[in-house]
Every structure is written in C-alpha cells, then in structure tokens.
Amino acid sequence: MDKKSRTEVPNLCYQLHGNCYLNITWHCTLRCAFCPKFNGCWEVQKYDLRLYQEPSAAEVLAAIGDIGAYSEFVFCGLGEPTLRLEVLLEVAEVLKAEGAYIRINTDGLANLVHGRDVIPEMVGKVDALSISMNAQDEATYIQHCRPKIERAYQGMLAFSRRAGEMLPEVTVTAIDGLPGVDIGACQKLAESLGVGFRRRELDVVG
Ligand code: SF4
C-alpha cells in the first residue's frame, strides 16, 4: 500500500439506486471466485471500496451525515458486514431510531462464525436480509464461493430459514450465468426455506 492510498478518505458510505450503502469491513468468510477484489479490483460502480482500517460506529455515522436524506440503508461493501456485528447493530439502531429502512447484504454465515444465533439481535434493528445463496447444492457453492469454514453451505441455508421466521423481509440470491448454477433450482430451494428469491446479474451490486 503506498502512502497516497493510505491517506485517501475511505468510502464508508456510497450512494446506489437512491439508497445509502455502508462499507464497514473488507474481510470475508468466503473467497468468491467471481469477487472483483480477488481479481485486483476494489471498485464498485465508480466507488473505491478499499479500506485500510475497520471503521467505528461513530465514524460510519459521521460519514453518513444527514440520516434523513435517505430512506434506505444497505450494509454492503467488498466484505461481509456481519463480521463486524457489534458496529453493524450499533449503527443500525441509530438509523432505525430515525425511521430508516435497514437491509444487510450478507453471506448468511453469521451464526456459524459467531457460534450463536445472532438473528434475535437483529430483530427491531434490521428490516431486510439479502443472503447470497449462490448455488442449489453444496458442490457448486464450494466451487464458486470457496468458504474458509466447514459446512458453510448448510449453515447458510439454516440461517436463511431462521431469518425468514424472525425478520420482516428475507431474500436469498443467486447469480445468473455462473457455471453450474441452476436459477430455477435455487428459486425452488428458496421456496422450501420459506424466503424470497432474487436472481442477480454478475458484477451488478444492489
Ligand atoms: S462474499 Fe462478497 S465481498 Fe466477500 S468474497 Fe464473496 S463476493 Fe467478495
């Protein structure tokens, strides 16, 4: 990392689709083969999402500024936001108190990573989860997502089902066009979990 990059102001929040997106970590439990950061690119829709420090809740809120300027906040960057659960929930609580709608784009591995059911901690602070299911079976998931932990696929499915029972809006997603990914089968799996489904396009963030 050169000196110039380190002194640049990080994009802790960025605007997409009229919403405010929050970039709170660069760490991930997955190493998705299709992820731009593993192909040397940290830019998403003209925003450089590289971070050199994990921001505090106060820093994230300061970067947002006027909370009332946005109706929806989405925790989503080139990292897994639930790895910073404490900061995420602290920020979400403040935003929620101002009447904002809160979504987390997640890998659905938080319960496995934290070793407990964290979904009750989200109740009342988080309106929606968009969970990257990414595949209709474990082998295809492992091929594309390359998880660092065991039984990630099963953990993600269990998390999705549980979240669907406790949070207002839960959707799982899969990327159309990845080799071996059967979008119809992913949709059926989502239905069996009792959650919504959304087909995503490669390299389109949202
Ligand atoms: S979970 Fe998202 S940010 Fe993390 S490696 Fe996969 S695509 Fe990249």
Q: Is the pLDDT of residue 46 over 50?
A: yes
3-state secondary structure of 45: coil
Q: What is the pLDDT of residue 59?
A: 97
Cα separation of 164 and 157, whole Å? 11
Which residue's CA is the nearest one to ligand 1's atom 3?
A: 78
- DSSP letters, 70-110, are -SEEEE-SSS-GGGGHHHHHHHHHHHHHTT-EEEEEE-S-H
Q: What is the pLDDT of residue 132?
A: 98
Is the distance from the beta carbon of residue 127 to the nearest atom of ligand 1 less than 6 Å? no
Calculate mean pLDDT across residues 198-204.
83
Question: pLDDT: is 203 or 175 the higher one?
Answer: 175
Calculate mean pLDDT across residues 166-172.
98
Span from the CA of 78 to the centroid of ligand 1 (angstroms): 6
Which residue's CA is the nearest one to ligand 1's atom 6?
A: 32
The mean pLDDT value of the chain amounts to 93
Span from the CA of 35 to the centroid of ligand 1 (angstroms): 5
Is the distance from the beta carbon of residue 77 to the nearest atom of ligand 1 less than 6 Å? no
Among 18-32, 43-57, 174-188, the least confident range? 43-57
Atom of ligand 1 nearest to the CA of 107: 1
Span from the CA of 26 to the centroid of ligand 1 (angstroms): 9
- The predicted-structure confidence for 83-119, as pLDDT tens digits, reads as follows 999 999 999 999 999 999 999 999 999 999 999 999 9
Q: What is the pLDDT of residue 38?
A: 84
Q: What is the pLDDT of residue 206?
A: 56
- The predicted-structure confidence for 127-161, as pLDDT tens digits, reads as follows 999 999 999 999 999 999 999 999 999 999 999 99
Atom of ligand 1 nearest to the CA of 78: 3
Give the chain's domains with CATH numbers: 3-200 (3.20.20.70)
Is the distance from the beta carbon of residue 30 to the nearest atom of ligand 1 less than 6 Å? yes
Calculate mean pLDDT across residues 162-166.
98
* Residue among 162, 154, 155 at smallest CA distance from 194: 162
Span from the CA of 144 to the centroid of ligand 1 (angstroms): 10
Q: Is the pLDDT of residue 126 over 50?
A: yes
